[in-house]
Amino acid sequence: MNTPLPNIRHQSIADLEAYFDSIGDKRFRVKQVYEWLWQKHAHNFEEMSNLSKDLRAKLGTDFSLPALHVDATQFSDDGTVKSRFKTFDGHLIEGVLIPTEERKTACVSSQIGCSLSCKFCATGYMDRKRNLTYDEIYDQVVLINQQSEKTFDKKLTNIVFMGMGEPLLNYSNVLKAIERISAEDGLFMSPKRITVSTAGVAKQIQKLGDDKVRFKLALSLHAANDAKRNQIMPINETNNIKVLIEALNHFYKQTGNEITLEYILFKNLNDSDKDAEELVKIYRQVPADLINIIEYNPIDAFRFTKPDEEGIQNFMGILESNRVNARLRRSRGKDIDAACGQLANKG
Q: Angle formed by the axes of helices 273-285 and 241-255, to 10°?
A: 40
94 is catalytic: yes
278 is catalytic: no
Q: Where are the alpha helices (DSSP H) in 74-195?
A: 134-152, 171-182
- Edge-to-edge order in the sheet of strand 69-75: 69-75, 81-86, 92-99, 104-107, 158-161, 194-198, 216-220, 259-265, 290-295, 326-329
Out of 94, 136, 166, 262, pick the active-site residue: 94
CA–CA gap between residue 318 and residue 276 (Å, rounded): 6
Out of 107, 118, 121, 340, pick the active-site residue: 340
CA–CA gap between residue 192 and residue 254 (Å, rounded): 16
Other Cβ atoms within 10 Å of 228 Cβ, number: 17
CA–CA gap between residue 134 and residue 180 (Å, rounded): 8
Residue 109 amino acid letter: S
Q: What is the 3-state secondary structure (H, E, C) of 8-68?
A: HHHCCHHHHHHHHHHCCCCCHHHHHHHHHHHCCCCCCHHHCCCCCHHHHHHHHHHCECCCC
Residue 195 amino acid letter: T
CA–CA gap between residue 36 and residue 65 (Å, rounded): 11
| Residues classed as catalytic | 94, 340
